[in-house]
Every structure is written in structure tokens, then in C-alpha cells.
Chain A
């Protein structure tokens, strides 16, 4: 097996002098593939994404573990060398297109500045690239819109601008944190299809954070399921969706309103609630809600069990 493009190994994130939010996470994204990361709200998906970018919010730190891109340990890189990678080799698309663009800069400037930062080209060349990117993300009337300000665009158009900026330097990896959750249902699919199409053309890998199992099925190659900051199942999409092994994944699947009409539906909440980071049970985090809970589940966290086909799961039922 070739080395993965992005590898997270036993990554633990937590509050400074406080609870852990993500615990011992191993995750990898291969070149050109789409890894979906799913899990209930608050399970640490966004923190994981931000940790890869080295953009954890104030108060949250990486306590241990590492992030490696193409053999480069991002987690031990100087701030300057990390900046050379952000936007150039890894780009990120955020959930809120309304607030993720700067209101006082034109969208053209906001696309062009990535190019200028990383390729040192002239203003003019960067602007030409911005226009090209805007055409590529199919923004209607791009030649005029290039001088528009974000508030003059719709949510879907803004997210296209974000995609244009993300792809402008031809990154190896895009991290998209629920890129369409804030959008109108009718244009969600459109924007996702665009993102998928463009990343295929560029051979760009995608780490897609989503709540939507329909999206996972349609777009992803592999999927990782997180629960309370821990990876509980991972595998190829068809393996996991067709044969979920962890009780939590099974419940997620069962909770899908209709497996066939699943697209566009969010994960339905399961009875009970996720333990809060500062009150993690000593055993399996899902044990308090698990219908198949065993006495030993409460003793210690279950070990990770993989299969030869790359379908792994952390549950005593599979020991």
C-alpha cells in the first residue's frame, strides 16, 4: 500500500488544562479519494479539521499525536512553513458562506489573494486566475461578479466563491466542513456535485465532513464515524453502509428516515445524549446509550479491530 496523502495518528485534542475533545484519533486520506467524516453534533469533526490546518481556536490545543501530509509532519512545522502549505496544498471550505467571506473585499480579490500569496504572481495574473476560477465554478456573469462584494451574492454563489478560492492553487487536499449545511436544500446537491466534479478534474483528495448519509453514499470512497471524539468505525462506504458493525453506526443507519430517499436528510438524533467531554465514562463512550451493552463495556475503552478489507470498528462485540 502506498503512503496516504494525509495521516492523523493518535491525535488528541483538548481544552488547555481541561477535558479532551478528540481522543487518539487515527485517520488517513489517500490521494484523490473522498473520505467522509460523520458523527453527531459536537463529536469533534470541526476540531479535527481545524487541527489539520493548524487553526485550532483559542483554548483548544493538540495534546498529543501528529498530522502528516505527504510525509511532512505538519504538527512540528514552523508557523511560516505551515503557512506555505495552507491554501496551497491543503485548502479548507467552511460551513457558513455568509460569514466566511470578508465583507469589505471583492470576491475577486479574495480568490486572487491566495494565488498571489503562494505563487507570487502579479496582481493582473492573479486576477486573471480568479476570473478563470470563477468561470470554472460556474458563477454566472463572472466577468462582472469578480468586482462584486460578498453581500451582493446569494449563499450558493458565495460557496462557489469559496470553492474557487480553495481550488485556485490546485491543492492536493480539500477539507470541507459541512460545506452545504447552511445552503438552501435545492442548491445543496448542485454545489456538492460541482465540488466533486472539480476535485475529480484536479485529482484532489477531499475530506468531507457531513451529517448527511445520502451525501456519503453519493460522494465518498471511505467513511469514518466519530462518536464523542473517538473513531468508532471506518471503512469503504459500501462496507460501512451495507454492513455497519458498530451498534452506533447501525442506529444511525436505522434512524435514516428512508434508506432510498435518504439524500438531503440529516442524521436523526438517537435517544439519550452524547456524554460531555468532561464527563467521559471510563469504558466505551457509547455504552450508556448502547442497546447491546455488556458489563465489560463499562470497564475500559474497546480496542480497535480491523479487517483485511480495511473495515474497522471499536466495539467489544467484534473482539
Chain B
């Protein structure tokens, strides 16, 4: 018999380990391909970093530029440049940012926590709000709570992130004066741990809400549709037939099943979430990777752009791996292979 019953806990753990290894291998391959694409794209653009630096120091001496190219390894053939680049990545040597004149790794690690905090808050908010709103809409299908939720979701979906950001600033900073407009914490006061946490939270609210609204809309619509489907399943009828209370039927029997597609969506959305972060961080002066990426591209800082892309890809792949593992926990039918 090959049911999950016959294999004990150790078997399951071993299978999970093997699965993890295989998924890590797959992720590494994907990462390699992503890096290659990124590298190619960057080098397809006309002009290179030597031109930029020469421009910065206002030199048009061709000798200087050739020397610069040689120093930067830009005279090597592209495949070799790529191999060097990957080799350096493996030792976490991401090079030096020309624009900031600092190691790329330092720059990124400095900004990473802020972005992770922002992304995590936004996606958590989107997931929880979307699941709740979608459940409410489905449970009250066709009645006013459903209509209200559906219209709101449509609004959230259609409003551009920067508009939401500016709107929030106008309301909560300019008009109500409740929330700080930009930055991550105020720098001119002496913080205790607690006051720092509160201060960061206050600064986080508007960026996180702006970044999440679009995803709230997506999760709400997905949750509503899935809940409607799940609520018509036979096992939900069985649950009603047992005399369970509506909250038990909806939450325990239906929502649990409806959350499965939501979790899948979670992994798929990390990429666009990062894209949204660039905008939101710029609007709110949030000191994260997104704004850094914006500046790096603007100033054609190739090592920094590549470094950020590398970190983003790793982030997306890791989140997807986590989501898959989470999924196997949530859905007992999935057998790891």
C-alpha cells in the first residue's frame, strides 16, 4: 500500500529533506538563468560605466577611458565578464558601487531590512485583509456586504500606487497630521528600543498600506471566488448537515480549503511586490532597496543594479520555496516527490 499511512514520521522527514534539496537545486538553475538574462540586458544598453565615470570626472581623454575599461575588466569578452561576475557572486563579492563609492554588498545589506519590513507588512496585510474581505463577500453573496467589498476591491485594483500614496499623505499628514510623511524614523531624538519600534511602525503604516492595496484587491477577489466555489462543495453541505455553526462551517471547513490557492498566489506576487516597492519607497522616502534600485538605474551604476537584481531574484526564489513548503503543510493531499 502506498498511502501516506504506511510511511512513518521519519520517512516523511527524509522525503521533505530530499524535496528541499531538489527544490534548492532547481532554484539555483533558475537563478543562473535569471542572472544571465539580467547581465545580457544590461550590456545590451549603449554606453558603459567607463563612459559614465569619464563623464563624472569630466575627462574625454581616450587613453584614460581605455585604461579605465581595462581596470574594470570591461575589455574582456562578455562571457568571461559574466563568468567573473558569477564567480564573484559566489563569494558574495558584488563589487563597488560607482555612484556611492561603497561596496555594493554593504549598500544592499544596509537597505535590505527596511525593504523586507515593508514587503512583509504589505503582503501580510494584503493576505489577511484579502482573506477576510473575500470570506465576508462570499458568505454574504449578492447582499450589501458583498457589493461593498466588491466595489472597494475594484477601486483598490484600479488606483495607481503613487496616487494612493499621495492621497494618504494628503489625508493623514497634511490634513489630520497623524502620521509622518516620509522616512523610516525620526533621527533627531534619542530612541529607546520601544520608542524606536513605535516610531518605525508609525512611519511604516502609509507605505505598507499603499503597497498593499493593490494586493488586497487581488487577494479579495481570489478569496471570494474560491470561497464561492468551496462553499458549494459536498463537504460543506456535510458540515451543515452536522449542525455546525455558520462560523465553523465557513471558517473551519470552507476557508481552510480556500486558503490553498491564496498561498500559491503569495509566491507569485513577490516579484510584483518588489516592483511596487520601488515606487512606494520613492514616494515615502523609505530607505529600502527599491529606492536604491531607482537611483542605481538612474545613475547607470551597473554593479549596484546587478547586485540588487541578484538579491531580488534570491528573495523571490526563497519566498517561493517557503510557500511550496507551507503549501505541503496545509494540503495533506500533496505527497512530496
Contact = CB atoms under 8 A, between A and B. Distances in A.
A122 interface: no
Interface centre among B235, B244, B245, B331 (most CB of A within 10 A): B235
Interface centre among B239, B243, B260 (most CB of A within 10 A): B243
Given A96-B234, A117-B248, A102 B253 contact: yes
Interface in B205-263: 233-235, 237-245, 248, 252-253, 256-257, 260
A67 interface: no
Contacts of B4: 148-149, 152
Contacts of B244: 83, 87, 113-114, 117
Contact of A87 (B237, B241, B330): B241
Contacts of B257: 102-104
Nearest to B249: A83
Contact of B234 (A84, A99, A117, A118): A99
Given A100-B234, A101-B235, A86 B245 contact: no
Interface size class of B (residues with CB under 8 A): 20 to 34
A136 interface: no
A83 B234 CA distance: 18
Interface centre among A84, A94, A162 (most CB of B within 10 A): A94
B5 A117 contact: no
Interface centre among B233, B239, B330 (most CB of A within 10 A): B239
A144 interface: yes
Interface in A138-161: 144-145, 148-149, 151-152
A117 B242 contact: yes
B101 interface: no
B3 interface: yes
A151 B252 CA distance: 18
Interface in A91-118: 91-92, 94, 96, 99-105, 113-114, 117-118
Contact of A83 (B5, B245, B256, B330): B245
Contacts of A113: 242, 244, 248, 252
B238 A102 contact: yes
Nearest to B231: A58
Contacts of B62: none
Nearest to A85: B243
A88 interface: yes
Interface residues of A, number: 31
Nearest to B254: A102
Contacts of A117: 242-245, 248
A101 B240 CA distance: 12
B242 to A, nearest CB: 4
Interface centre among B238, B239, B242, B253 (most CB of A within 10 A): B242
A165 B257 CA distance: 20
A55 interface: yes
A148 B242 contact: no
Contacts of A99: 233-235
A145 B242 contact: no
A87 B5 contact: no
Nearest to B1: A152
A149 B237 contact: no
A102 B248 CA distance: 13
A49 to B, nearest CB: 10
A219 interface: no
Given A53-B241, A87-B243, A148-B5, A103 B333 contact: yes
B235 A103 contact: yes
B249 to A, nearest CB: 10
Nearest to A111: B242
26 contacts: A53-B241, A86-B241, A86-B242, A86-B243, A87-B242, A92-B241, A94-B237, A94-B241, A99-B233, A99-B235, A100-B237, A102-B235, A102-B253, A102-B257, A103-B235, A103-B257, A103-B332, A104-B256, A104-B257, A105-B252, A117-B243, A148-B3, A148-B4, A148-B5, A152-B5, A162-B238
Given A86-B242, A91-B242, A117-B244, 17 more contacts: A53-B241, A87-B241, A88-B243, A100-B237, A101-B235, A101-B238, A102-B235, A103-B235, A103-B332, A104-B257, A104-B260, A104-B330, A113-B242, A117-B248, A149-B4, A152-B3, A165-B242
Interface of B: 3-5, 233-235, 237-245, 248, 252-253, 256-257, 260, 330-333
Interface of A: 53, 55, 83-88, 91-92, 94, 96, 99-105, 113-114, 117-118, 144-145, 148-149, 151-152, 162, 165
Which 9 A-B pairs rank lowest in CB-CB distance, beginning with the nearest? A87-B243, A86-B243, A87-B242, A99-B234, A149-B332, A102-B235, A92-B241, A83-B243, A152-B3
